[in-house]
Structure 1
Amino acid sequence: MRIATYNVNGINGRLPVLLRWLAEAAPDVVGLQELKTSDDRFPALELEKAGYRAIWHGQKSLNGVAILARGLDIVETRRGLPGDPDNSQSRYIEAAIGGMLIGNMYLPNGNPKPGSKFDYKLAWTDRLAAHAATLFAVKAPVVLMGDYNIIPTPSDVYKPERWIDDALFAPEARAQFAALLEAGWVDALAKKHPEKPPYTFWKYWRNSFERDAGMRIDHVLLNRPAARKLKAAGVDRTPRGWDKTSDHAPVWVKLG
């Protein structure tokens, strides 16, 4: 099974790019982030015509997450994290698909730091860790994927010294990501590319993509049953070079 995560940076504006990628890559399951659309404007019909069932958790102009599946039933198990006192931000959705549990997220950016947005990022990630602990114990394969908005290590960003004051590279956020790995979650890209995992995001300016001046902030984490099935993982750079595309590239894993 081929599973992918893709921050589309506005699903309606980037729909031609998304549909082209779905047709060419043919993933079985996809987690989308930054839909930037209300629930009623989600392009479910267009995706269905492309062969994908979908569940989604939208929010007008901001955030938003969805899970797509090709030829598989989707049973939604959760939307929003447990223990969130303000669940107005659409950042997490979860479903059972093909004998697996798929959690898809758009973690807060957290800038500017310090401030309330950074505090919210850390609190949200703490709630994610608490929920992840319950998911890790599930005997079936569990995949936690999405735009984590965390650069795990200095090797995961071009010129790390430029990101010292950014919330994506903050020691507190990096420590939270490291704690997930210490709890047993497997970082699929790092597992399959131990010397240097590929970047997943490039800013639009200064030919960042052409120079490969990027960063790795989109991650696929696997519990032990899922990690035992891991055959391959990578980044599909091709759509990042298309016209009117997202600043992220799809990250994929193949589970056998």
Structure 2
Amino acid sequence: MKIGTWNVNSLKVRLPHLIDWLAKHSPDAVCLQETKCEDKAFPAAQIEAAGYRWVHSGQKTYNGVALLTKVDCDRVGRGIPEFTDAASRVIAADVQGTRVVSVYVPNGQSVGSDKYEYKLRWLAALTAWLRTELAAHPRLAVLGDYNIAPENRDVHDPHAWEGQVLFSEPERAALRGLFDLGFADAYRLFPQPDKSFTWWDYRMNAFRRNIGLRIDHILLSPALAQSCTSCTIDVEPRRLERPSDHAPVLCEVAA
């Protein structure tokens, strides 16, 4: 089973890139973030023509998460139960015996801001919910844009980023809380090239200079981690004209 995640940063703009990418890699399931469209504006016809079913939780201009699958999915859920949030940031479904969750973690804006405190509350709610999900679903994958770089090696210049949003200790501690539940970072299950990132700012020629952060992750339950055979970052879509500022991440697990 091949599963992936991609913050497309506007599905309307990046749709041609996505359709080409689906044809090239043929994943069984893909989690999307920042679709930035309402459900009624979702490009259903194009996605279905590419061979995929879809479920979506969207809103106009901001946020939005989706799950694209080759087969029908079951037990679709939206949002974090018992956490009131107007933003469309979570969608989950059963896909071929695996519970797949697409998450778009709040950015946080700046350390100490109201949006930063919201991010920490949101992560606490996510962790509490995933604790129960993990108990109910041995095969559980949580994919998405976490807006957190876990370690120094996930940041092009950790000294410059220390204490900044996306790399502050409270954020990293919150992400470690998910690892403490038993989740594994699929990308770190295998030897990987140095300076491997998933996000590069549009400014300062950041992609060309590889000034990036690894903030898009695939977290796998223990059962899935044991059966994971590969995990890669696909930087090719970031080279295209009018790209998303994020690159997709793909992993394969035994069915």
**TM-score normalized with structure 2 length:** 0.96
SS of aligned partner of 2:121 = helix
Q: Which amino acid aligns with 1:81?
A: I
Q: Which residue of 1 aligns with 2:176?
A: 178
Q: How far apart, in 1, do the equivalents of 2:38 and 2:195 lie?
A: 34
Q: Deviations over 1:102-121 (max 9, x none)?
A: 01100000012211100100
| 8 Å CA contact retained: 1:189, 1:197 | no
Structure 1 stretches lacking a partner, 5+ long: none
Q: Which amino acid aligns with 2:167?
A: F
Structure 2 stretches lacking a partner, 5+ long: none
Which one of the candidate residues 245, 248, 251 is aligned to 1:250? 248
* Mean Cα deviation higher: 246-255 or 161-170: 161-170
Q: Deviations over 1:22-47 (max 9, x none)?
A: 11111110000001111110111110
* Mean Cα deviation higher: 128-137 or 89-98: 128-137
Which one of the candidate residues 191, 204, 207 is aligned to 1:206? 204
SS of aligned partner of 1:66 = strand
Which one of the candidate residues 129, 136, 139 is aligned to 1:141? 139
Does residue 1:41 correspond to 2:37, yes or no? no
Give how far 1:196 is off: 4.7
* Aligned 1:61-210 pairs, distance under 5 A: 61-70=61-70, 72-85=71-84, 87-193=85-191, 196=194, 198-210=196-208
User: Number of residue pairs matched?
Assistant: 254
Give how far 1:255 is off: 0.5
Q: How far apart, in 2, do the equivalents of 1:107 and 1:173 lie?
A: 11
Q: Which amino acid aligns with 2:103?
A: M
Q: Deviations over 1:65-108 (max 9, x none)?
A: 000012x11114310002213x2100000000101000110000
Q: How far apart, in 2, do the equivalents of 1:135 and 1:247 lie?
A: 31
Give how far 1:139 is off: 4.7
Q: How far apart, in 1, do the equivalents of 2:95 and 2:8 lie?
A: 22
Q: Which residue of 2 aligns with 1:31?
A: 31
| 8 Å CA contact retained: 2:4, 2:27 | yes
| 8 Å CA contact retained: 1:139, 1:225 | no
Q: How far apart, in 2, do the equivalents of 1:140 and 1:197 lie?
A: 32
Quote the RMSD (CA, aligned, Å).
1.4
Give how far 1:164 is off: 2.5
SS of aligned partner of 2:120 = helix
Question: Structure 1 residues 150, 212: closer, same or farther in 2, change over 3 A?
Answer: same
Q: Which amino acid aligns with 1:189?
A: Y
Q: How far apart, in 2, do the equivalents of 1:214 and 1:249 lie?
A: 11
Q: Which amino acid aligns with 1:214?
A: G
Q: Which residue of 1 aligns with 2:4?
A: 4
Q: How far apart, in 1, do the equivalents of 2:220 and 2:130 lie?
A: 10
Q: Deviations over 1:164-198 (max 9, x none)?
A: 34221111010011121122111000111367572
Segments of 4+ moved more than 4 angstroms:
194-197
**TM-score normalized with structure 1 length:** 0.95
Q: How far apart, in 2, do the equivalents of 1:125 and 1:137 lie?
A: 18
| 8 Å CA contact retained: 1:5, 1:30 | yes
SS of aligned partner of 2:106 = coil
Q: How far apart, in 1, do the equivalents of 2:193 and 2:210 lie?
A: 17
Q: Taking every aligned residue pair, what percent have the same amino acid on both sides?
A: 39
Q: How far apart, in 1, do the equivalents of 2:55 and 2:202 lie?
A: 29
Q: Which residue of 2 aligns with 1:22?
A: 22
Q: How far apart, in 2, do the equivalents of 1:195 and 1:136 lie?
A: 30
